[in-house]
Amino acid sequence: MRKRLTTREYADGILAGQRGILSKAITLVESTLPADRDLAEEVLSLTLRHAGKSIRLGLTGVPGVGKSTFIDAFGTWLTQNGEKVAVLAVDPSSQLSRGSILGDKTRMERLSRDENAFIRPSPAGGSLGGVTRTTRETIQLCEAFGFGVILVETVGVGQSEIAVHSMVDFFMLLMLPGAGDELQGIKKGIMEMADAILINKADGPNLEKARLARAQYANAVRLFPARPGGWRPKVAVCSALEETGMQDAWEMVRDFREMHGKDGFASLRSAQNLEWLHETIRWMLEDAFFGNSHMKNGLLEMETKVREGKLPPTVAARKLVSSYFQGKS
């Protein structure tokens, strides 16, 4: 049987920079067992005041755009420049593909051996809600540990990007040269969320195409609404393979941080925390309702009535929810 650490041991280990304890604490926050959840919440409460000091970066782009190559190059560039970097992944699709796409250990090979970096794939088999909850908590633990840059990577082009946008300070979108094709793969809403667009693979025969794409995207982002604080999305080119453009990418992040100042992030993050609170209440209520054994029969009965067209879904839902809360009072 695994030896259970106490809350104090977890918290002290994290604050003392023990990577093994950090990994264990993340496993704990990923657990759905009630006893683990209780312990995880205590560890989070104890470490909260040591968190919050990083810059949180989101990174997305279609599969094949070069996210892992970029993170390997950019992360290494950052650690060479004195930063400590944690890379987290949000990959709810792993539930379907039965194995995390982002969890592949051979990705980011150099960074995974870097003692100033820490890579953690998303838990396999989670729902988007579950994965984003644990990612938020993992961010907090990594910050308390002392990572100054948290990179959150997402795969896919949809819900998970929106979720990640709500937990980072700066959102980067990797694109390929050849703007026309790319625009079709990335939803416009995601482009509009980007604080920076990096056109990757700007090397060899693609270099000219990449520069052209930069001009096109720079035009496109001018039409997007300005961010709170007046930030205008920036566009740059890079080559993750040849490791060019890393400094430009980091300078964008630094400009953004400077423009916001410390207070800017504080208000962004407190708004995100409120959103997180409300989201968590919704998940908890949902879990409590659907996990309540007393509701099972009533739910089956209402499902039949709705399927057979005997009751409008809204009426059925209201009856069930009322009976749930009556049972509680």
Under the criterion CB under 6 A, does residue 64 sit at the interface with ligand GDP? yes
Q: How far is the CB of 141 from ligand GDP (least distance, A)?
A: 25
Q: How far is the CB of 251 from ligand GDP (least distance, A)?
A: 19
CA 92/CA 101 separation, integer angstroms = 10
Instruction: Using the minimum distance from each CB to ligand GDP, give the nearer residue, 21 or 172.
Output: 172
Q: Interface with ligand GDP by CB under 6 A: which range of 59-67, 161-169, 271-279, 321-329? A: 59-67
Hey, which residues between 70 and 109 contact ligand GDP (CB under 6 A)?
Answer: none
Under the criterion CB under 6 A, does residue 239 sit at the interface with ligand GDP? yes
CA 121/CA 104 separation, integer angstroms = 8
Give the number of other CB atoms < 10 A from CB of residue 299.
17
Q: How far is the CB of 245 from ligand GDP (least distance, A)?
A: 9
In sequence order, what are the beta bridge partners of 86? Answer: 118, 150
Residue 218, both tokens? 């720079």
Answer for which of 241, 306, 311, 320 binds ligand GDP (CB under 6 A) is: 241
Under the criterion CB under 6 A, does residue 260 sit at the interface with ligand GDP? no
Instruction: Using the minimum distance from each CB to ligand GDP, give the nearer residue, 108 or 150.
Output: 108
Pure H helices in the chain: 7-15, 19-30, 34-47, 67-80, 94-97, 109-112, 128-145, 159-165, 179-185, 188-193, 207-222, 246-290, 296-307, 313-328
Instruction: Using the minimum distance from each CB to ligand GDP, give the nearer residue, 240 or 249.
Output: 240
Burial pattern 178-190, b for ≥16 Cβ within 10 A else e, equals bbeebeeebeeeb
CA 154/CA 168 separation, integer angstroms = 12
Among all residues, whose Cβ is closest to ligand GDP?
66
Under the criterion CB under 6 A, does residue 13 sit at the interface with ligand GDP? no
Q: How far is the CB of 70 from ligand GDP (least distance, A)?
A: 6
CA 92/CA 86 separation, integer angstroms = 19
Number of residues that bind ligand GDP (CB under 6 A): 14
CA 265/CA 148 separation, integer angstroms = 14
Q: Interface with ligand GDP by CB under 6 A: which range of 10-18, 21-29, 200-208, 227-235? A: 200-208
Site string for ligand GDP, 265-294 (x = CB under 6 A): ------------------------------
| φ and ψ at residue 25, rounded to 5 degrees | -65, -35
CA 148/CA 220 separation, integer angstroms = 32
Q: How far is the CB of 68 from ligand GDP (least distance, A)?
A: 4
Under the criterion CB under 6 A, does residue 61 sit at the interface with ligand GDP? yes
CA 304/CA 311 separation, integer angstroms = 9
Q: How far is the CB of 104 from ligand GDP (least distance, A)?
A: 9
Q: How far is the CB of 191 from ligand GDP (least distance, A)?
A: 17
List contacts with ligand GDP (CB under 6 A): 61, 63-69, 200-201, 203, 239-241
